[in-house]
Structure formats: structure tokens, C-alpha cells
Structure 1
Amino acid sequence: MLTFNKGLFMQVSIIGKHLDIGDSLREYIEKSITENVTKYFDSAISAHVAIAKEGHHFKNHLFKTDIIVNEGTGNKILIKGEGLEADAYQSFDDAVRRMEKQLRRYKRKIKNHHNIRPEKEFAATKYIISPSTEEDEVEETSEAPVIIAEKATSIQSLSVSDAVMRMDLMNLPALLFINSGTNKLNLVYYRSDGNISWVDTNVSA
């Protein structure tokens, strides 16, 4: 699905999981995502919107929306938003609000820092492992966890402030990175009290 955007074409893909995206909702999403993204990034390349019907809450289905936007500046940044509501429209609107809040916060930083792209990238592999349950027997042996999936990724060389920005824009709970000032392995993550912790190690990249 192509949406015209200030002289550029931004590709907007919309999928429904366990529900049929009707014409009315599709048009609403296309119009809203274009308006809300292009007022911050007129060079945005693509937006992907997925709405899934899942679970029950007080006997009503919940709708979960995931939005991923490639902002198109060449800085290897993805912007993500999530929404969870009892109505598909409200779920999408919630995801857009969350995404727009982050865009407002970091727009000036991204626009004014053309060297915001990572200085270096280190190849890595990301694994998704199966969590333990209460029924699992705890063994003393150090067996490897059950791997559900694996994916090639990278650890980027960033300043601490840029690492926090990327963590927020990508809606992540934590981000592992190489501190561009010290060339050491660092970690930023959100604490349960809402503050951010920064772990500065002595491990060289």
C-alpha cells in the first residue's frame, strides 16, 4: 500500500492478525500514520502496522497494535509504538500517541545531529529462549536453554545519550552498546521505578 507523502512515496503496510482489516480502518490508519509521521520526518521511507486480536478482558477481546517506522534519515533508527485497547481504532490511536511522544522528544536531536549514525557496528546474534515455568524441574546442571529463534543483529558504537534515545524510539526495555567515548561495553535499561540505569563495564570492544 503506497501513500503519497510530500513529493515522496512512503510505503505503508497494514496487516491484521485474527481479524479482517476493513476498508474504513485501513483508510483511517493510512491517513493518520502519514500525517503523524511526516510532520516529524518528511523523508520517512516506510511504516508497518500490525493489529492483532488477542485474549479476553472482562469477556471482551483486546486489540494489540504494533507500529514500526523507518524514519529515512540514514541513521539506522526505527521508531516503534505499541497500543493495547478493547477497540481496534483506540488501540491504533494509543500506539500512535506513544510513538508521537517519542518523536516530539527526539526530533530536534535527530534533525540537528547528522553524525548520529553509529561510528562502528559489531556483529552479534540475538536468541529468543523459552522461559522456565513453575512446573519445570530445577536442575543443578548448566544445560543450555531452549532456543526458540535466532537472528543476526549488531551492537552499535554510541554515546550514552544516543543509546537512551534509540532504546526509547525502539520501545526497548534495555539496550546493549559500545560506549563511543571509552570503547567499552555498556548497557542502559529501564528500572521498575521508571528511572534509567547505566552500566559501564571494563570490557573492551
Structure 2
Amino acid sequence: MQIAVTFRHMESSDPLRDYVEEKLARVKKYIDEPIDAQVVLSVQKKINQRAEVTMVAKGLTMKSAEEKDDMYAAIDLMVDKIERQLKRYKEKLKNHKGSEGVQRRIEKTVYSAPSFDEGHNEPEIIRSNSFFIKPMSVEEAVMQMDLLDKEFLVFTDDRSEEMNVVYRRKDGNYGLIVPHGK
């Protein structure tokens, strides 16, 4: 497992770094693939200790962040949360057979809002990414959206091979957008 620990608004600490590595070693049992973990430990407003992790393994991305008044407690809560997510993911994978459908490449572009408001002919592009999305079931898409802590997820349905969108509604439930042809 590759673990990168970044310290923000605080001194770098080898004991904290070792503690993070020791705690994150627990999650290896849930994923066989190589894992890349980015951990950010920070102090906010001089009292809030925040621990965040973003883990990527085998096309799966998970995020967890916790805040406490003690950094070690924040790390413990962060690791517990990511471990619960991985347990839930592994259970769902047991119940769901993976699809070997065609992966699609999508492009994500972020535009500057003022460029639209001010009536410019061409919108200003802030950031653009392209990536592949694998076919998955609606349940797997909802789970992936929860793991990423996102409000919506674009995915290819593993049965119909159509592009769909699952999103979190304001009432806490989930919505699904399924495009229909002509």
C-alpha cells in the first residue's frame, strides 16, 4: 500500500505518520489490489484536528474525513469509517456479479460561472478531465457515489449499456435518470 501523508497548518510528525500507516494497514484485508492512499492531517482554527483520506484501488475511490479535538481520535474515526465503507462494498460485491461490458470514456469540464453571466461568446474552462467508466448496476453506482461522497454519478448500466445518472435528492433519497432513445 502506498500512503502519502501531508501535514497542513501543523508540524510534520513521524509518530503521527507511523500511526496513520499502522491504522490504514487494517484495510488491506478488504482489497487485494494495490492501494494508493492520500492522507491529509490538518489543524483548523487552532483547535479542530482534521484527518482526511482518499483511497484508490482497482477503479474504486473512497473518501473519509473526520474532525475531533485530538488528532489520534480523528485518525481512528477516519479509519473506522473507511473500513465500514469497504466492508459494505465487499458484501455488495459478493451479492453482485461483475459485468464485463464495454467501458466508456467520458469528459468532465468545469466552466467559470462569470464567463456565462458576462455574456462572453466562449465560456472560460477552469478544468477538464477525461476518464473511463465501467459498467455497473444501479446499486453499485449508488454505493460508489456514497463512497466518493458525491451528489451524483454518471455510469453505464451493466444491463442496458446505456449511460445513466444517479443522484442524491434533497430529501435524502436517490434519483435515477435513464435516457430513452427516439
TM-score band (shorter)? 0.7 to 0.9
Measure the CA separation in 2 of the matches of 1:118 and 1:63. Answer: 43
- Residues in 1 aligned to 2:36 and 2:167: alpha-carbon distance in whole angstroms: 28
The alignment-based identity, stated in percent, is: 30
Larger % of helix: which?
2
1:27 Cα deviation after fit:
1.5
Provide the secondary structure at the position in 2 that maps to 1:201: coil
Deviations 1:128-168 (A, max 9, x none): 34456xxx9955x4755543222222233222112112212
* TM superposition score normalised by structure 1: 0.72
Q: Distance in 2 between matches of 1:11 and 1:117?
A: 28
| Corresponding position of 1:100 | 83
Structure 1's 127 and 138: CA in aligned 2 closer, same or farther, altered over 3 A?
closer
Residue 50 of structure 1 and its aligned partner are, at CA, apart by 1.8
Q: Which amino acid aligns with 1:67?
A: V
> Is the 2:101–2:161 contact (alpha carbons within 8 Å) kept by the matching residues of 1?
no
The reply on whether 1:175 has 2:153 as its aligned counterpart is yes
Helix, strand or coil: the match of 1:202?
coil
CA 1:149–1:101: 2 relative to 1, 3 Å: same
The structure whose residues are more often strand, as a share, is: 1
Q: SS state of the match for residue 92, structure 1?
A: helix
The answer to whether the Cα contact below 8 Å between 2:41 and 2:50 also exists between their aligned partners in 1 is yes
The equivalent residue for 1:153 is 131
Equivalences, count: 182
- Distance (Å, rounded) in 2 between the aligned partners of 1:51 and 1:131: 31
- The residue aligned with 1:34 is 25
- Structure 1: 5+ residue stretches without partners: 1-9
1:1-205 superposed matches below 5 A: 10-35=1-26, 37-54=27-44, 56=45, 60-71=46-57, 74=58, 76-111=59-94, 116=98, 119-130=101-112, 138-139=117-118, 141=119, 145-202=123-180
Q: TM-score, normalised to structure 2's length?
A: 0.79
> In 2 relative to 1, CA 181–48 (structure 1 residues): closer, same or farther, beyond 3 Å?
same
Q: State the alpha-carbon separation in 2 of the partners of residues 146 and 86 from structure 1.
A: 41
Equivalent residue number for residue 4 of structure 1: none
* CA-based RMSD: 3.0
Q: Structure 1: which 4+ aligned runs deviate by more than 4 Å?
A: 136-139, 142-145
